[in-house]
Amino acid sequence: MQPIVRFGNVTKRFPNGVTALNEVNLEFFPGQVAVVLGPSGAGKSTLLRIINGLESPTTGTVSVGDLAVTPANHRAVRKRVGMVFQQFNLVPRLSVMANVLCGRLAYRNIWTSLFFTFPASDFELAEKALAAVGLGDRAWDRVDKLSGGQQQRVAIARTVVQQGAVILADEPVASLDPATSIEIMDILVKIAKETGCGLILNLHQVDLALKYGERIIGIKRGVVQFDSKPSDLGEDQIAALYAA
């Protein structure tokens, strides 16, 4: 099976001298649920941001399928990579439907972007995505009238309509209560399995990582400490990852 995302000896250093990632070599595969664990500042968010082109590596290469992730390829990369953020990144004053349709902008021309006009096929995709996340009856409500869990579902639906090869989720349940967190994790994993796309999540909750992850990657100070099945991880390895 060919990887959908490949890191080749990637190092990321910021201008302040911080090395967020240090010689990372990883491959991610279709349909796989991979969870990245690590303490705050370990490099988890940088790892995801490099995949979708929000950050560029200092050295090394990143590819999504056969496409190199470079500034010149940003638009093409955004078609293949969807991202779910911790803070939802929605437009509060717009409707649920309008926010979901934003996931189609990479496929449309500048005039669609300026005047926010979409073909019927995009509306059909958005309606199916909203039904998949349990919000089929809220399409025309304003986003700022929804709860936090519902807003995260909108963000997931926006990612689904991108029809990409991989979904990135950066602390997608950090601001949600435990019951809602389970609901969101169930939705993300179900979508990954039904569509065959890869799912790469950053999580702080070790219990959720062990419950949902098929693969656990531990990062500390920008270095991959382990890359294993959940059943292969012991308490000592987890404790060492989070030790000061």
Q: Which DSSP helix (H) or strand (E) runs through 8?
A: strand 5-13
pLDDT band at 110 (very low <50, low <70, confident <90, very high): low
Overall pTM > 0.85: yes
Q: Note the pLDDT of residue 189.
A: 96
Residues across the chain: 244
Whether residue 168 is predicted with pLDDT greater than 70 in this model: the reply is yes
> pLDDT digit string (tens) for 20-53?
999 999 999 999 999 999 999 999 999 999 999 9
Q: Note the pLDDT of residue 175.
A: 87
Q: How many domains does the chain have?
A: 1
Phi, psi (degrees; rounded to nearest 5) at 106: -65, -20
221: left (phi over 0), alpha (psi -120 to 50) or beta: left
> pLDDT digit string (tens) for 3-28?
999 999 999 999 999 999 999 999 99
Q: Which residue has the tokens 């050295």?
A: 59
Q: Note the pLDDT of residue 112.
A: 65
> pLDDT digit string (tens) for 208-225?
999 999 999 999 999 999
Q: Note the pLDDT of residue 153.
A: 95
Structure tokens at 35: 């969870």
**Nearest alpha carbon to residue 4 among 75, 100, 82:** 82
Mean pLDDT of the chain: 93
59-64: strand order across its sheet: 19-28, 5-13, 59-64, 67-68
Q: Note the pLDDT of residue 87.
A: 85
- Burial-class residue 44 by CB neighbours within 10 Å (0-12, 13-18, 19+): buried
Q: Are 103 and 162 in contact (CB under 8 A)?
A: yes
pLDDT, mean of residues 142-163: 95
Residue 22 and residue 59: Cα distance in Å, rounded? 9
Q: Note the pLDDT of residue 109.
A: 75
Range of the domain at 51: 5-242
Domain of residue 198, CATH code: 3.40.50.300
> pLDDT digit string (tens) for 171-222?
999 989 999 999 999 999 999 999 999 999 999 899 999 999 999 999 999 9
Residue 217 and residue 8: Cα distance in Å, rounded? 16
Percent of the chain with pLDDT over 70: 98
Q: At what angle do helices 148-160 and 120-132 cross, to 10 degrees?
A: 130
pLDDT band at 160 (very low <50, low <70, confident <90, very high): very high
Q: Are 189 and 199 in contact (CB under 8 A)?
A: yes
Tell me which DSSP letter residue 95 carries.
B
